[in-house]
Amino acid sequence: MTSISTSASFDGPSRALQRNLALVCAAIIFCVPFIQPGQYIIHLLIMCLMWSYIYTSWSIMGRLGLVSFGHGAFLGVGAYTGVLLWNYLGVSPWLGALAAVVVTALLAVLIGYPCFRLKIVGHYFALVTLALSEVVRLIIIGLRDYTGGSLGMTPRTALAQGQEIALGAMQFADKRIWLYLVLVCWLLALYVWHRVDRSMARLALQAISEQEEAAASIGINVRAVKLGLMVLSAAMTCLGGVLYAQYQLYVNPENLSGIGVSLQMVFGVVAGGMFVMLGPTMGAVFLLLLSEGLRLLIGNDLHGVDLAIYGALLVIFIIFMPKGILGTLLHRYDAHAQKRRAKVNAPAEASAAPATLSVLESRP
Amino acid sequence: METIFDIYLLEALCNGLLLGGLFALLSLGLNLVFGVMDVVWICYAELIMVGMYAIWWLHTAQGVPVFLACLIGIAFVALLGATMHQFIIRPVLQAEPINQLLVTGGVLFFLQAGATVVFGIEFRNLGVQLSSLNVGEMSFSISRLLSFAVAAAAIVAISLFLRKTFIGTAIRAISQDRAIMPLMGVNPARIYLTASALGGGLAGLGAALLVLQYDVHPAIGLSFGPLIFLICVLGGLGNLIGGFLAAFVFAQFISVGGFFFQLEWGYVFAFIFFIAVMFWKPQGLLAKRA
């Protein structure tokens, strides 16, 4: 079932549609601050983009069957490395982010290399990464003398009274700067997603996610590709952690490396659509709007209703809509476009190649 | 000074043993379900939480005696397990394995958040205090000894059930060869349902033992859920004896590690040990080298 959805995602006119959609969204978001909406709207947009960025980073490896249940580990390492270096050594978070990426990449190799070498996949890979995120969370709590344990910690403030921007400290009182920063990150993540999708490894990736032996037999270094993607995904997630820490100015092991966060990442992507570029974004937006909408609707008293509905929806999605919201929509769009094109081309190519081939050839 | 140190270490070791019995029971149901259906119930710990809430509610709000409340609780979770299988897992049984993991993940969120909505985030206590047993300078809580005894009895009962009864034999057979069983005149759907109910029942039993020792709160599943999965994986998913062994190994790590350092470090060591074993023997502790 999923093999069909994977192949559908690699081709078809919906790719161009998604690219245009992303650019239009970016343009709209770019203009939003000029109409001066409230702080709340800007905050919502920032959170949407930040989580979209993180979910997209996750899906770079997730859609290849490397379903990680432990990306909270990378999020936590990123956030805490940045904040600890800033608070204790005065290292600018920009440099801290670099350090965090190095640490994360090492961690990803440490876990990924043996996993891929020993062909730990599926359930086992998911649970090994789950253990990793627990290790990170518990180490953060265990080092409570430095990290504040479960109570969390705040980055030392660098903004003097009335000051708006502390560039070196990556602290901005003006939310618009944050909006543009996360917008750029989100676009970059989409670009990386697109590049990975487009790279020479495109068909190789598909082969890997469906049949590893087959991929290996046509000369693909399966391990190296997997490891590369895992390091990429982890490093991007870790930068998400740095951004989160600097924006919220508060980090907490539960909010960053808890199992809830790691699972939510997986489920958000699944709900949006794992195999399409904007799927993770869709999942993040959907999730955020759901929780914010319900909060506005029923107030703060009924804590947990949003997550309960979310859980129920997930079950329904996976049973009835395994491609996710956007995945299903785009699949329909592709099928429709294909039918239309077949109708247009049919008279001219009546004697030519079969329909599937004609679609491939007529692509720009 | 030296002798006191040793006594406390011995106490930690014994407590680890008792904890191991509890872990072994908790992982038994999950292992059974996996062995039969190849499905990981990632919401297993949340089923236990629901059982704990059921028992707590029956006892404190309805005044049902503890023992009876536990029995009803076990039956309720067994029913829940069977229902979940019938309506949520069966539709995706033919889909990719990761989808089954994800669908039970949805149930996890639902149950956890549902418990928050219904019962709030307060810690709930059954209000039953069992005293502790003192041996020399060591002290053990009666509830832990009780849970160890019940866990041991349940494990023996389950293995007898799997060996002596027709359904038990069918369960073992189906976990060895999924394709051949329908040809032997066994209806797999019925076996799956039975195994799910049994897995749920074991979760309920775990709930009954946990609720005697710990307070209930909605996030309790997240606190020991990962532990149960890792124990099952460490023992080799579906391998009941391996899971049993792994439970005791894990419990010792936590108990003794927590004795020498702080409690979290015990867990950290246990998890790092788990990752190391995965690289050493990816199919679990008892697996023959692949």
| Phi, psi torsion values for B187, nearest 5 degrees | -85, 110
Q: Name the packing angle between helices A93-117 and A222-248 (round to 10°).
A: 150
The pLDDT tens digits of the residues spanning A257-279 come to 878 888 888 888 888 888 888 88
In a domain, residue B120? The reply is no
Give the model confidence (pLDDT) of A303-338 as tens digits: 677 778 878 888 888 888 878 888 888 888 888 888
Asked if A359 and A338 touch (Cβ cutoff 8 Å), the reply is: yes
Q: Give the structural domain span for B245.
A: 7-115+141-280
What CATH number is given to the structural domain containing B168? 1.10.3470
- Say if B13 falls within a structural domain: yes
Q: Is residue B287 part of a domain?
A: no
pLDDT at A57 (0 to 100): 92
B83 lies in some domain: yes
Q: Enumerate the β-bridge partners of residue A172.
A: A165
Measure CB to CB from residue A142 to each of B91, B262, B272 and give the nearest one. Answer: B262
Structure confidence at residue B282 as a pLDDT band (50, 70, 90):
low
Please answer yes or no on whether A266 and B114 come within 8 Å at the CB atom: no
Whether pLDDT at A9 is above 60: no
What's the average model confidence in pLDDT over B176-182? 72
What pLDDT shows up at residue A235? 93
Residues in contact with B93: Cβ distance below 8 Å, sequence separation at least 6, in sequence order: B37, B39, B100
| Cα-Cα-Cα-Cα dihedral sign, residues B207, B213, B219, B223 | negative
pLDDT at A98: 92
Q: How far apart are CA B161 and CA B266, in angstroms?
A: 35
Mean pLDDT of B204-225: 84
* Structural domain count of chain B: 1
Least confident window among A303-307, A345-349, B220-224: A345-349
Which residues 23-52 of B are in CB contact (within 8 Å) with A? 40
Chain A residues 283-342 with CB within 8 Å of chain B? 302-308, 310-315, 317-319, 322
How far apart are the C-alpha atoms of A349 and A338, rounded to whole Å?
15
- pLDDT surpasses 60 at B271: yes
* A150 in reach of chain B (CB within 8 A): no
How high is the pLDDT of residue A183?
92
Largest CA distance in chain B: 67
Measured between CB atoms, which of B96, B106, B114 is closest to A314? B106
Residue A244 pLDDT greater than 60, yes or no: yes
Task: Flag whether pLDDT at B237 surpasses 50.
Answer: yes
- Say what the ipTM of the complex is: 0.75
B101/A126 touch (CB, cutoff 8 Å), yes or no: yes
The pLDDT value given to residue A239: 92
- Residue B212 inside a domain? The answer is yes
Q: Beta B132-135 vs B138-141: how paired, if at all?
A: antiparallel
The lowest-confidence range among A33-42, A104-113, A143-152, A203-212 is: A203-212
Q: Which residue has the higher pLDDT, A16 or A94?
A: A94
Encode pLDDT of B78-114 as tens digits.
999 999 888 888 888 877 777 788 888 888 888 888 8
The number of beta carbons lying within 10 Å of the beta carbon of residue B35 is 23
**Any CB–CB contact under 8 A between B149 and chain A?**
no
Dihedral sign computed on CA atoms, order B60, B117, B81, B152? negative
- Per-residue pLDDT at A262: 86
Q: State the pLDDT at residue A347.
A: 59
Q: Pick the residue with more confidence: B289 or B170?
A: B170
pTM, two decimals, is 0.81
What is the band of B18 on the pLDDT scale with cuts at 50, 70, 90? confident
The token pair that represents A351 in the structure block: 């004697």
| pLDDT of residue A238 exceeding 80 | yes
Mean pLDDT highest for which of A113-117, B53-57, B182-186, B249-253? B53-57
| A&B contacts, CB < 8 Å | 148
CB-closest option in A115, A260, A315 to B103 = A315
Cβ <8 Å between B105 and A263: yes
On chain A, the residues whose CB falls within 8 A of the CB of B91 are 319
B271 in contact with A, Cβ within 8 Å = yes
pLDDT (tens digit, 9 = 90+) per residue, B250-269? 888 877 777 777 667 777 77
Task: State chain B's mean pLDDT as an integer.
Answer: 80
Within chain A, what is the greatest distance between any pair of CA atoms?
A: 76
Of all residues in chain B, the percent with pLDDT exceeding 70 is 87
A-chain CB neighbours of B222 within 8 Å are 258-260
- What span, in angstroms and rounded, lies between the C-alpha atoms of B14 and B244? 17
Residue B71 is assigned to a structural domain of this protein: yes
Nearest CA-CA distance, residue A342 and chain B, Å = 31
For tokens 């949520």, the residue is B88
Residue B153 within a domain: yes
B280 CB within 8 Å of a chain A CB: no
C-alpha separations of A99 from A78, A149, B144 in Å: 9, 22, 46
Q: What is the pLDDT of residue B133?
A: 67
**Bridge partners, residue A153, by sequence:** A251
Q: A284 CB contacts (<8 Å, ≥6 apart)?
A: A48, A51, A52, A54, A55, A268, A272
pLDDT of residue A352: 46
What integer pLDDT is reported at residue B129 of this predicted model?
66
The predicted structure's pLDDT at residue B218: 84
Is residue B267 within 8 angstroms of chain A, CB to CB?
yes
**Residue B229 domain-assigned?**
yes
